[in-house]
């Protein structure tokens, strides 16, 4: 009734029209009751109402620190698994209506860290040559260092090892400086998490610390086979580039709130735990890295 009156008023001069508040007062209807009923009627006439509920539920499961992280490519197969089939354009439109799109991030502002200082030690061969198709856990590992600027204007550096087959993070260390301690802490974690009887390739860029004796001797003692990207070719270590990009996209607002290295370390460790155990990916059959490893690859 109220909406019909509003429609009928459209041809009247503006000064003679009633506002929504005045109309509700005249008929003695509470504003909350009106909007609840209006929403019910709209939903009743919305053929995508049920689909939206499922999209919202899936998107909520993918939230990290209050931010949505699942794009339409990850929601689509889960929606189909639930029995709902919609076109890609429709799904993107519905996600936009629901306000559940993941944050966008400009790679050009990624503060990508470059550790290349020329040849200061030994350069290993590129054993992978951009072949990232292994399906056996603990056979091909990637490692790299990246940086983010904290709210106190200082840099935080992250050293990470990723399993190519599962996308699982096997080691992750944080420091205020990209130094030997950062690298050795990362390798110490890797030693604890790497099962016996595995001799994986560990691939990195040509960063100066990966060329030095202490690093090569340590990975050799762990039975790891060293491989390096070509100079200046980030695509040779794309899996690590992808991981750091995801972290910076999905945690950008939280990173800005970190006032010191201690707060950032806490945030980064929580993200790694969430990433390994909760964050699904199309590349891991819509499972988390840990679930994919335990239930698919070595089941």
Query: Span 138-152, mean pLDDT?
Result: 94
User: CA 72, 74, 80 angle in degrees (round to 5)?
Assistant: 90
Answer yes or no: is pLDDT of 1 > 80.
no
Query: Binning pLDDT at 50, 70 and 90, where does residue 77 land?
Result: confident
Can you say whether the dihedral through the CA atoms of 295, 296, 297, 299 is positive or negative?
positive
Answer yes or no: is pLDDT of 3 > 90.
no
Nearest to 124 by CA among 264, 22, 226: 226
pLDDT on residue 197: 87
Domain limits of the chain?
A: 2-44, 49-98, 108-297
Nearest to 270 by CA among 247, 242, 244, 297: 247
* Claim: this prediction has a pTM higher than 0.95: no
According to DSSP, the residues that pair with 149 across neighbouring strands are 155
Distance in angstroms (rounded) separating the CA atoms of residues 17 and 137: 70
Query: Span 80-89, mean pLDDT?
Result: 85
* Homologous superfamily of the 108-297 domain (CATH): Ribonuclease H-like superfamily/Ribonuclease H (3.30.420.10)
- Residues 6 or more apart in contact with residue 57 via CB below 8 angstroms: none
Query: Binning pLDDT at 50, 70 and 90, where does residue 81 land?
Result: confident
Instruction: Give the start-end residues of each E strand in 35-186.
Output: 140-149, 155-163, 169-175
Report DSSP letters for 83-94, one per residue. Answer: T----HHHHHHH
Can you say whether the dihedral through the CA atoms of 176, 178, 181, 183 is positive or negative?
positive
- Residues 6 or more apart in contact with residue 29 via CB below 8 angstroms: 2
Query: Binning pLDDT at 50, 70 and 90, where does residue 85 land?
Result: confident
pLDDT on residue 78: 85
Between 229 and 38, the higher pLDDT residue: 229
Instruction: Give the start-end residues of each E strand in the chain.
Output: 140-149, 155-163, 169-175, 201-204, 225-228
Most confident by average pLDDT, 29-38, 98-107, 191-200: 191-200
pLDDT on residue 42: 55
Between 60 and 265, the higher pLDDT residue: 265
List own/partner pairs for 287-290 with CB under 8 A and 24 or more apart.
289/163, 289/166, 289/167, 289/168, 289/169, 290/166, 290/168
pLDDT on residue 94: 86
* Average pLDDT in the chain: 83
pLDDT tens for 238-280 read: 899 999 999 998 998 899 999 999 999 999 999 999 999 999 9
pLDDT on residue 230: 81
pLDDT on residue 108: 47
Provide the residue count of the chain. Answer: 299
Answer yes or no: is pLDDT of 73 > 90.
no
Distance in angstroms (rounded) separating the CA atoms of residues 269 and 250: 14
pLDDT on residue 37: 61
Are 181 and 261 spatial neighbours (Cβ–Cβ below 8 Å)?
A: no
pLDDT tens for 276-295 read: 999 998 888 899 999 999 98
């Amino acid at each position: 009734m109220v909406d019909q009156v509003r429609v009928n008023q459209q041809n009247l001069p503006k000064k003679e029209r009633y506002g929504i508040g005045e109309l509700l007062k005249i008929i003695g209807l509470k504003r909350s009751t009106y909007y609840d009923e209006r929403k019910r009627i709209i939903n009743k006439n919305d053929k995508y109402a049920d689909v939206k509920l499922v999209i919202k539920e899936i998107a909520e499961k993918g939230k990290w620190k209050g931010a949505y992280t699942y794009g339409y490519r990850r929601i689509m197969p889960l929606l189909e698994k639930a029995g709902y089939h919609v076109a890609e354009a429709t799904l993107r439109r519905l996600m936009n209506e629901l306000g559940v799109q993941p944050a966008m991030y400009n790679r050009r502002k990624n503060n990508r860290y470059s550790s290349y200082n020329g040849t200061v030690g030994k350069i290993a061969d590129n054993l992978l040559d951009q072949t990232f198709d292994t399906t056996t856990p603990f056979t091909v590992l990637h490692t790299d260092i990246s940086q983010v600027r904290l709210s106190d204007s200082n840099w935080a550096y992250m050293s990470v090892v990723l399993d190519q087959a599962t996308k699982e993070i096997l080691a992750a260390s944080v420091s205020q400086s990209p130094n030997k301690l950062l690298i050795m802490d990362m390798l110490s974690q890797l030693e604890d998490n790497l099962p016996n009887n595995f001799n994986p390739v560990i691939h990195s860029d040509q960063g100066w610390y990966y060329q030095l004796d202490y690093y090569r001797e340590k990975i050799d003692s762990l039975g790891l086979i060293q491989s390096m990207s070509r100079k200046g070719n980030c695509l040779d270590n794309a899996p690590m580039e992808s991981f750091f990009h995801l972290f910076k996209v999905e945690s950008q607002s939280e990173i800005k709130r970190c006032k010191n290295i201690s707060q950032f370390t806490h945030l980064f460790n929580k993200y790694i735990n969430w990433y390994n155990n909760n964050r699904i990916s199309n590349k891991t059959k819509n499972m988390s890295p840990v679930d994919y490893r335990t239930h698919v690859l070595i089941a």
